[in-house]
Amino acid sequence: MKVTEHIENANGKPLFSFEILPPLKGQNIQSIFDSIDPLMEFNPPFIDVTYHREEYEFKELPSGLLQKKIVKKRPGTVGICAGIQNKYDVDAIPHILCGGFTKEDTENLLIDLDFLGIDNVVALRGDALKNEIYFKPEKEGNQYASELVTQISNLNKGIYLDEELQNSSCTNFCIGVAGYPEKHMEAPSMDSDIHFLKQKIRNGATYIITQMFFDNKKFFDFVAKCRKEGITVPIIPGLKPIATKKQLNLIPHRFKVDLPDDLIMEVVRASDAEAVRQIGIEWCINQSKELMQAGIPVLHYYSMGKAENIKAIAKAVF
C-alpha cells in the first residue's frame, strides 16, 4: 500500500513509522529484525530502509598508480526490504540515491522493487562521500533528486530508457522526497530550497519527509512556507532523540541542524549518560505530543538501528 493511502485510511489518527540502517557487512538480517521487533507493538504501517554508498580509499601501488579499495559496504537495501515485508507484512520503503547509480542501474533497481511488490520509494540525491568536497554524480546518472523523481515517474507511465520497448508495463511507485525545515546545507536560501522542493513535487513526488529537527516551530514555519508556495502533499516530520553528549556537536556539524539552547544546557548539565538519554527521550516526547495535537498525519523516527529510545517515546505518545 502507498504511504499516501496509509494516511488516507488512518482517518486523522497519527501513524507511527521509523527508519533503520542496513547492517554492516558480515551481519545477517536477524540484526535488522532484532531492532524492529521491539517497535512492532506500535503498528507501523511502513518502515524506511536507508541506502549507504560504498566508501573507499585509494592506495598507492609500487608502480605509482592509485588503486581504489572499498573499505565499507552494507548489504543491499532491496533484499532487506523484501525480508521486512515477508516477515512483518508491513510496507518497506527503500531509499534510492542519485550517487553511485547510473540511470540504467536505477531503472534495474526499480524493476526489481516492482517485481517484489514494493510500492513506495524515497528519492534522494545523496551526500558527498567523505573524500569529496562536493557531491559528484555518477557518470550517466541522475544529478539531482528532481531528475531521479522524473525517472521514477516515467516508469510509472511505462516510459523506460529504451524508447523502443513495446507494451512496457507501468510501475506504480509512491515517491517520497526529503524536505529541510532549516534548509539544505548547500541551499543558498530557504526560498530557493523550497523552489526546488516544489519542482520535485511537480515531477511526480507525492509526499515529503523532513530532516530531523529539535524545534517544532522550525517545522511549522517550513510547512507554512510550503503551503504558501502551493505544495499540498503530506509533510511527515522526522524526529530523533538526543542520546549522547557528543551529539551536541556531531548533529549540527553533520546535518546543519540547530539545537535549542534549553536542550543544549539540559544535556550539558546532565550528571551521566543515562541522564542524557532520558533528557533526549523527554524532549522528543514533548515534540511528538505537540505535533500530534497539530494534526500531523505521521510521526517518523530515525532509530539508527537502536530501538530502546524510540520504544520509550512511542509508549508515551501512541
**Paired strand residues for 57:** 69
* CA distances for 309 relative to 193, 243, 256, 282, 304, angstroms: 31, 8, 23, 10, 11
Query: Contact 85/79 with Cβ under 8 angstroms?
Result: no
The domain of 37 spans 3-317
CATH number at residue 124: 3.20.20.220
- Tabulate helix, strand, coil % of the chain (nearest 5): 40, 20, 40
Confidence (pLDDT) at 57: 54
Nearest to residue 229, comparing CAs of 268, 197, 259?
A: 197
Measured between alpha carbons, how far is 179 from 238 in angstroms, rounded to an integer? 10
Confidence (pLDDT) at 131: 57
Confidence (pLDDT) at 140: 84
Q: Residue holding cell 521486512?
A: 84
Main-chain phi, psi angles of 305, to 5 degrees: 80, 5
Q: Is the pLDDT of residue 308 over 90?
A: yes
Handedness of CA 184, 186, 188, 193 (dihedral sign): negative
- 161-214, pLDDT tens digit by residue? 987 777 789 999 999 999 999 998 888 999 999 999 999 999 999 999 999 999
- 49-64, pLDDT tens digit by residue? 998 665 545 556 666 5
Q: Is the pLDDT of residue 70 over 80?
A: no
Confidence (pLDDT) at 306: 83
Predicted TM-score (pTM) of the model is 0.90
Query: Contact 228/191 with Cβ under 8 angstroms?
Result: no
Q: How many domains does the chain have?
A: 1
